[in-house]
Amino acid sequence: MADLTREAGETLATTAPPQSYWRRVRKRFMRHKPAVFGLCFLVLMAIVVVFGPFVLPYGFDQQDYDLIGLPGPMNAEHWLGTDQLGRDATTRLIYGGRVSLAVGLAGALVATFLGTLIGALAGFYRGWVDTILMRFTDIMLSIPPLPLVLLLSSLFRPSPPLLVGIIGGLIWMGTARLVRSQFLALREREFVEAARALGASGPRLIVRHILPNAIGPITVAATLAVGSAIMTESALSFLGFGILPPTPSWGNLLNAASPWLSTAPWLAIAPGLCILLTVLSVNFLGDGLRDAMEPRE
């Protein structure tokens, strides 16, 4: 009887190399067309905003004093024209993309870290830890962000690192709830109980056994958080509480372009379109990752 099994094991061994989780994820992801499109767009956008400023002939705050006064027209020298201060709009758009994407990515990382930490502790330890952390989450969810931000903006102007912290602090709650529910379900699974029976400590159970099995939903939430972080950054910058001029971001470019909406609409359309396409791509990517990492089997 043992021989039979050994034989069966042998046949198993001669087939494909060990199929890790990630190999299967990649296969399923490639079938999701919008997500692949979103990923391509984001990679392209990343390349442009990272390397663009090195290639462009202008600095983001470099002024052409002859063009000061009104937004300049689009031409071969200035593809998107110039703003009312004589700065090249293409340069500012690309440089602003760099700022917006960096702040969005960093804000999403902060949110994911905070949300995972709080959700994991609440879901794993339950009891009063859960009660305290989740009521705190509820309170954070019930604070309307924009009035809060307007209030804060009258008090001080945040530096970019602080802004990243504020954005992360505004959007971590969804991740926390998601991670908590994952932990509540996973902690009862038998493989966690098996590790407990072997004497594994709480932190080890969290990090080695439960977290890796929640990585799918967390990755999806993190991806979608990038979208909301970019949106939040744009909204804050538009309201004057985010990235401050002369440093451009997509949000403050929109704000700066608003007086010229009728005479030079492209100044607003370009950053608006960038925000739209980037957030859309991020959401497609999130959908694709969800299908790839949490298949309904």
- Pick from 33, 132, 146, 191 the residue near other proteins by CB under 8 A: 191
Measured CA to CA, the distance from residue 90 to residue 164 in angstroms comes to 25
The reply to whether 190 sits near other proteins by the rule CB under 8 A is yes
**Phi, psi at 59, each rounded to 5°:** -85, 160
| Identified binder of other proteins from the candidate list 73, 161, 212, 295, rule CB under 8 A | 212
* Site residues (CB under 8 A) for other proteins, limited to 4-33: 5-6, 8-10, 12-13, 18-21
* The pair of three-digit structure tokens given for residue 71, joined into one six-digit string: 């937004």
d(CA 111, CA 146): 18
Q: Least CB distance from residue 119 to other proteins, whole Å?
A: 18
Position of tokens 């030079």?
264
Closer residue to other proteins in complex, CB, 55/197? 197
76 binds other proteins (CB under 8 A): no
Q: Return phi, psi of residue 189, to 5°.
A: -70, 155
Any bridge partners for residue 72, and if so which?
82
- Residue 108 and residue 165: Cα distance in Å, rounded? 10
Closer of 26 and 189 to other proteins (Cβ): 189
Q: What is 135-185 written as a DSSP string?
A: HHHHHHHTS-HHHHHHHHHHH----HHHHHHHHHHHH-HHHHHHHHHHHHH
**195 touching other proteins, by CB under 8 A:** yes
Residue from 53, 44, 47 nearest 90 by CA: 53
59 vs 295 by CB, closer to other proteins: 295
Among 69, 142, 197, 262, binds other proteins (CB under 8 A): 197
Which of positions 214-253 make contact with other proteins (CB under 8 A)? 215
Helix/strand number for the chain, H first, E second = 13, 0
Of residues 31, 33, 135, 208, which one binds other proteins by CB under 8 A? 208
Closer residue to other proteins, CB minimum distance, 6 or 296: 6
Interface with other proteins (CB under 8 A): 1-2, 5-6, 8-10, 12-13, 18-21, 189-191, 193-200, 208-209, 212-213, 215
